[in-house]
Each structure stands twice: as C-alpha cells, then as structure tokens.
C-alpha cells in the first residue's frame, strides 16, 4: 500500500514538474493583415512577418447562362448544356 501511494505521488510530481517548466505557447491573437502592438490584445493594420497566403479574389461576374436554341434543347451555362448528365454542374456554376 505504501509503495502504491509513493509511486502515485512520484508520478504526479513528475507530471506537474514538467508542466511547470514547459515554455508557454506563443499565440498571435491578431487576424491576418494586422500586427500586434506593445499593448496586449491590441492589433493595428500592417503586414506580419509570416508567409500567409494572400486572399483569394473572385471575379464579380457570374456564370454566363444562355437561352435554349429555338428548335428545342437545353439551356447552357458557360457552354455546358444543362441536361440530365450535367445538371449538378449547371447548378454549381450558377451558385454565387
């Protein structure tokens, strides 16, 4: 019984000791495009010294939807006919 208590105390002491001397995690709470100031929790505009990817820009124009031909047929989106085989593609292309 004494050995079990001694072993448990040594295990707890080892775990707590390693946690006490562990280095704190460096967390940057500022969003991309801002940098931290000397005041904690305050960020200003500017580029941080990181290799974060630039923002992706989407062109404002949507899909080009054309009317069905006069003789019958299907509408087309960006040249893809909206028939049974391409229905999912047509729906996806017309989404903003």
Q: Running DSSP on this structure, what letter comes out for residue 6?
A: H
Number of helical (H) and strand (E) elements in the chain, helices listed first: 2, 5
Rounded mean pLDDT of 18-39? 69
Residue 32 has pLDDT above 80, yes or no: no
Cβ–Cβ under 8 Å, residues 65 and 94: yes
What are the angstrom distances between the C-alpha of 49 and each of 27, 36, 46, 91?
14, 11, 10, 41
**Angle subtended at Cα 38 by Cα 37 and Cα 43, rounded to the nearest 5 degrees:** 20
What pLDDT is attached to residue 67?
A: 75
What pLDDT is attached to residue 78?
A: 81
Residue 49 has pLDDT above 80, yes or no: no
- Looking at per-residue pLDDT, the higher value among 19 and 30 belongs to 30
Where exactly are the structural domains of the chain? Answer: 64-96
């Amino acid at each position: 019984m004494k050995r079990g208590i001694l072993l448990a105390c040594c295990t707890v002491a080892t775990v707590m000791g390693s946690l006490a001397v562990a280095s704190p995690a460096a967390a940057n709470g500022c969003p991309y495009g801002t940098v931290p100031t000397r005041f904690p929790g305050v960020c200003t505009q500017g580029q941080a010294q990181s290799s974060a990817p630039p923002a992706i820009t989407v062109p404002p124009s949507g899909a080009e939807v054309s009317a069905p031909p006069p003789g019958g047929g299907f509408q087309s989106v960006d040249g893809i006919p909206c028939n049974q085989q391409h229905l999912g593609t047509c729906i996806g292309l017309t989404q903003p």
